[in-house]
């Protein structure tokens, strides 16, 4: 491998150490090197949002970062949502409200909703629409996605 670099990255609480080529995209690192296939790769230019992950607490497009830039970072992917075999309330809400059909955009939707609800636990529908507009869904027409995020917000508020 030309110019390989050794990086240490914490993903969903697990520390990984790997050698990567500089041109390795973060999304490919997660999928190919760590075999975390939950994060999907769609457009590869930052438009579709399927590859959205939480990077040091902030949502990012993992197709627009290089794995070398994640050295020392903490990342959360969709695999980090469920705990001890129990779905996260956001995942439950998507299931109950039919917030997906084909499921391709779902990891991006879930991670977007996860960050959004941390910042805004009691959102309006309009605010949810603006948040999920950053992820393209060609199945649901967004109605069920918005319903799911609203339902998740209610669940998480308790």
Total binding residues toward other proteins, as defined by CB under 8 A: 31
Interaction of residue 75 with other proteins, rule CB under 8 A: no
- Nearest C-alpha neighbor of 94 from the set 140, 61, 57: 140
- Nearest C-alpha neighbor of 129 from the set 117, 115, 142: 142
Closest distance to other proteins from the beta carbon of 158 (Å): 25
Q: How far apart, in Å, are the Cα atoms of 119 and each of 47, 59, 83, 102, 122?
A: 22, 12, 21, 28, 9
Which lies closer to other proteins via its Cβ, residue 60 or residue 93?
A: 60
Site for other proteins in 15-54 (CB under 8 A): 21-23, 25, 28, 44-46, 49, 52
Which lies closer to other proteins via its Cβ, residue 92 or residue 136?
A: 136
φ and ψ of 25, to 5 deg: -70, 150
* Burial class of residue 39, CB neighbours in 10 A (0-12, 13-18, 19+): buried
Interaction of residue 87 with other proteins, rule CB under 8 A: no
Binding segment for other proteins (CB under 8 A), chosen from 75-83, 86-94, 130-138, 143-151, is 130-138
Decide: 40 and 55 in contact? Cβ < 8 Å. Answer: no
User: CB 109: neighbour CB atoms within 10 A?
Assistant: 30
Q: Which one of residues 34, 36, 60, 151 is an interface residue with other proteins (CB under 8 A)?
A: 60
Binding segment for other proteins (CB under 8 A), chosen from 9-17, 61-69, 83-91, 142-150, is 61-69
Binding site for other proteins (CB under 8 A): 2-3, 5, 21-23, 25, 28, 44-46, 49, 52, 55, 58-61, 63-66, 68-69, 112, 115-116, 130-131, 133-134
């Amino acid at each position: 491998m030309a110019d390989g670099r050794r990086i240490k990255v914490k993903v969903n609480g697990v520390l990984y150490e790997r050698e990567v080529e500089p041109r390795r995209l973060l999304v490919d690192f997660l999928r190919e090197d760590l075999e975390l296939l939950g994060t999907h790769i769609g457009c590869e230019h930052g438009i579709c949002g399927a590859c959205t992950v939480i990077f040091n607490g902030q949502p990012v497009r993992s197709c627009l970062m290089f794995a070398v830039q994640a050295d020392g970072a903490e990342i959360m992917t969709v695999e980090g949502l469920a705990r001890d075999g129990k779905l996260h309330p956001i995942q439950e809400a998507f299931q109950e409200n039919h917030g997906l059909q084909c499921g391709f955009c779902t990891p991006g939707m879930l991670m977007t909703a996860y960050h959004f609800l941390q910042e805004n636990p009691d959102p309006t529908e309009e605010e949810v629409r603006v948040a999920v507009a950053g992820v393209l869904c060609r199945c649901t027409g967004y109605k069920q996605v918005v319903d799911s995020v609203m339902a998740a917000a209610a669940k998480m508020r308790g």
